[in-house]
């Protein structure tokens, strides 16, 4: 392994570790096998909601906003809507 490979691996790890808190390693493998890049996923989940202004990541699988850091969303947003 060259130093370049090691650096690349470290960068990759740094980016993916940011996603780890909501993702199992099984999901990680699925992403790596798909055409989606981690960067694309990050920007997808960073999209803001036009109803409550929270990022997509704060909304559950049904689209309901669950708020940020133990603070519930007060807008009553129950369907994510991209800005
Ligand atoms: Zn919200
Ligand atoms: Zn919302």
11 vs 68, which has greater pLDDT? 68
Q: Are 68 and 37 in a shared domain? A: no
Distance CA 20, CA 1 (A): 26
pLDDT of residue 78: 95
CA of 21 to the centre of ligand 1 (A): 19
- What is the arithmetic mean of pLDDT over 26-43? 89
72 neighbors 66 (Cβ within 8 angstroms):
yes
pLDDT band for 6, please (50, 70, 90 cuts): confident
**Predicted TM-score of the model (pTM):** 0.65
Q: Are 34 and 57 in a shared domain? A: no
55 neighbors 40 (Cβ within 8 angstroms):
no
Distance CA 69, CA 48 (A): 16
CA of 10 to the centre of ligand 1 (A): 33
List the domain range (segments joined by +) for residue 20.
Answer: 3-45
Q: Are 75 and 54 in a shared domain? A: yes
Residue 71 β-bridge partners: 68
Identify the nearest ligand to the CA of 77 by its number.
2
Q: Are 54 and 24 in a shared domain? A: no
Q: Are 20 and 37 in a shared domain? A: yes
Identify the nearest ligand to the CA of 49 by its number.
2
pLDDT of residue 54: 95
CA 32 and chain centroid, separation: 14
CA of 76 to the centre of ligand 1 (A): 7
Q: Are 35 and 60 in a shared domain? A: no
Count of domains forming the chain: 2
pLDDT band for 8, please (50, 70, 90 cuts): confident
């Amino acid at each position: 392994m060259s130093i370049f490979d090691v650096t690349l691996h470290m960068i990759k790890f740094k980016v993916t570790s940011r996603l780890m808190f909501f993702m199992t390693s099984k999901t990680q493998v699925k992403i790596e096998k798909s055409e989606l890049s981690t960067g694309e996923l990050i920007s997808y989940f960073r999209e803001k909601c036009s109803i409550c202004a929270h990022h997509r990541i704060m909304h559950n699988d049904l689209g309901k906003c669950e708020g940020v850091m133990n603070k519930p969303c007060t807008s009553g947003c129950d369907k994510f809507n991209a800005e």
